[in-house]
Amino acid sequence: MSHIKIAVVLSVAIVLQLLLREVWRPLAYIDFPLVVVVYIALQRDAWKALLVGTLAGLIIDAGSGGLVGAGGFSKTLTAYIIYFAATRVNLENPLLRIPVLAAGSLLDSAIYVFWHRVLGYPPAVPFVQTMSYKLIATTIVGTLALYLLDAVVAERSAQRRQFATRRRVARRSTGPLRRR
Amino acid sequence: MAFVRTQKEIRQRAPIWLVTLLVANLIIMAVDARDADGRQKILRVWTQTFASPLQSTSSKVTGATSGFFQQIWNFRRTARENEQLRERLTQIETELHTAQQSAAENERLKELLKLNEQSEIKNVPARVIARDPSVWFNTITINRGTSSGIAVNMPVVTAGGIVGRVITVSPWASQVMLITDEKAGAGAVVGQLGSGALGSVKGRADLGVALIEMRYVSGLEKVENGDYVMTTGQDGIYPPGLNVGRVVDVKSGTATTAHQILIQPGAQLDRLEEVAVLLYHPPPRSVPEQTPQNVERTRR
């Protein structure tokens, strides 16, 4: 996945995260930047996954009332753990992505809140309730978003599209009209 | 020769990158946490300065889009609300008559007590450009900063009541911690200033933005549902006499235990659009002497 594609996808995720809360408050439970981080970590590209995790976390932290760096820390660690799992276990199956997303969301929330509690900044909302809502929302929407990312931006889908075009061209050139 | 890293190299270096990035985040976090509440956080000022244009733009886009859909969505509700408002107007007219009488009485009492008129506090109107993108905190970002004379700890209000206080200021934007946050608080009194039902209001994680808790009100004081709660000005942030909200639940205390009071904030905190920042500088507090007199005496 090229750097430009990653930058575009991450920007869209961050803008969605900022905008959707304004439209309807519960939509804030969907962690779009985390979905992007999980997606890149599943591509088994460690450097990109870690960098995107840090960037996404820090940008969200900049507009948040929490500690700057807490989101960066949690998303970086989550990205690495998912990358680590993806290099050892085959997570190509789309169904396996559901528990991976859920675990990612759970881990991200737990680390984020842990650092805030340790440094004396307790969250303003109940932990278990918020974490559960976030897990459900991120897993459901994230699963669909991963399908979308697969179809639109993945290298493999680009290759597939390229082959399909070539096949179509090849068929045209060897079609029945041509043979006559 | 192009520099290409093999999968093995990437796998070997990943833990080093991880540790580097984690340590960097940890340092940023520690620097941000080090600055105590009530002081300007340098790191936040920078992040706020860069984030505010994005937040402002996104706010405009959302406002335009959601405004269109909301108008359609609200059409039916408006008719129903209209009926309710008519009923409420009749009720308010009666309350207004009573309030006018109270205001006149208040004026007379002030003259009697020769109280100085509270100087009019200047305020800066501001627009809410963003809400906290994470779900864990209750903060809002407004489109006014140091260029408009705003400073840390200035109170933010609406016509309904207090909203919170400024926690970070950058040149063109400020971050406001809502009164419903666990770390927020204000000195308050149930009823009129001068009543004995003094306490402090504070957010509680399990109450969300709908309610706030009032603590330390003596169990001997009379508190009822529907009572108004005002600021006392003793917290050094909010000026006295601002509306906090209305009491919605009271678990009565005793002579030795305090009341457990829940308040519905007067400001509609979940639907904030416009707010005002009061350019209020609390009167300086008298600093107690470092060594109490009796200690000196004992030494002699």
Largest pairwise CA distance in chain B: 91
Radius of gyration of chain B (CA): 25
Residue of B nearest to A71 (CA): B25
Asked if A62's CB is within 8 angstroms of B47's CB, the reply is yes
Structure tokens at B121: 């506090």
A50 DSSP assignment: H
Contacts of B139 in chain A (CB under 8 A): 64-65
DSSP string, chain B: ------HHHHHHHHHHHHHHHHHHHHHHHHHHHHSPTTS--HHHHHHHHHHHHHHHHHHHHHHHHHHHHHHHHHHHHHHHHHHHHHHHHHHHHHHHHHHHHHHHHHHHHHHHHTPPPPPPPPEEEEEEEEE-SSSS--EEEES--GGGT--TT-EEE-SSSEEEEEEEE-SS-EEEEETTSTT-EEEEEESSTT-S-EEEEE--GGGTTT-EEEE--BTTS---TT-EEEE-STTSSSPTT-EEEEEEEEE---SSSB-EEEEEESS-GGG--EEEEE---PPPPPPPPSS-HHHHHHH-
pLDDT higher at B55 or B145: B145
Give the residue from A18, A27, A84 with the most B CB atoms within 10 Å of its CB, the best one to mutate: A18
Quick one: pLDDT at residue B250? Answer: 87
Is residue B80 pLDDT above 60, yes or no? Answer: yes
Q: Are B205 and A128 in contact (CB under 8 A)?
A: no
Domain ranges of chain A: 3-155
Amino acid identity, residue A170? A
pTM of the model: 0.74
Question: How confident is the model at residue B286, as a pLDDT?
Answer: 66
pLDDT score for A101: 93
Q: What residues of chain B lie within 8 A of the CB of A15, using their CB?
A: 58
Q: What is the pLDDT of residues B41-57, one digit of tens each?
A: 777 777 777 777 777 77
Least confident of A62-71, B110-119, B281-290: B110-119
**pLDDT-derived band at B36, boundaries 50, 70, 90:** low
**More confident site: A143 or B120:** A143
Distance CA A9, CA A35 (A): 10
List the single range of A4-18, A110-124, B151-165, B188-202 with lowest mean pLDDT.
Answer: B188-202
Average pLDDT over residues B241-255: 87
Question: Which parts of chain A sit beneath pLDDT 70?
Answer: 1, 155-161, 172-180
| A70 contacts B30? CB cut-off 8 A | no
Question: Does A12 lie at the interface with B, CB-CB under 8 angstroms?
Answer: no
Q: What is the pLDDT of residue A143?
A: 92
Measured between beta carbons, the chain B residues lying within 8 angstroms of A83 are 14
Higher pLDDT, B291 or B213: B213
Going along chain B from its start, the domains and CATH numbers come out as 15-75+124-281 (2.40.10.340)
Instruction: List, for residues B85-100, the tens digit of each pLDDT value.
Output: 887 887 787 677 677 7
CA nearest to B271 within chain A: A22
Of A17-26, A137-146, B15-24, B190-199, the range with the lowest mean pLDDT is B190-199
A163 to chain B nearest CA, in Å? 26
pLDDT for position A103: 94
Give kind and range of the element (H or E) at residue A7: helix A3-23
- What pLDDT does A177 receive? 57
Nearest-by-CA chain B residue for A119:
B33
Residue among A65, A70, A80 minimizing CB distance to B175: A65
Query: Distance between CA atoms of B38 and B27, rounded to whole angstroms?
Result: 21
Residue B112 amino acid letter = L
What's the Cα-to-Cα distance from A28 to each of A19, A129, B36, rounded to whole Å? Answer: 9, 14, 28
Chain A residue closest to B64 (CA)?
A23
State how far residue B283 is from chain A, nearest Cα, in angstroms: 28
* B133–A23 C-beta distance less than 8 A: no
What is the C-alpha separation between B24 and B44, in angstroms, rounded? 16
**Chain A: closest CA distance from residue B58 (Å):** 6
Q: Does the beta-carbon distance from A54 to B44 stay under 8 Å?
A: no
Q: Does position B254 have pLDDT exceeding 90, yes or no?
A: no
Report the complex ipTM: 0.81
Give the pLDDT of residue B50.
Answer: 72
CA distance B112 to chain A (A): 45
| Domain A3-155 top-level CATH class | mainly alpha
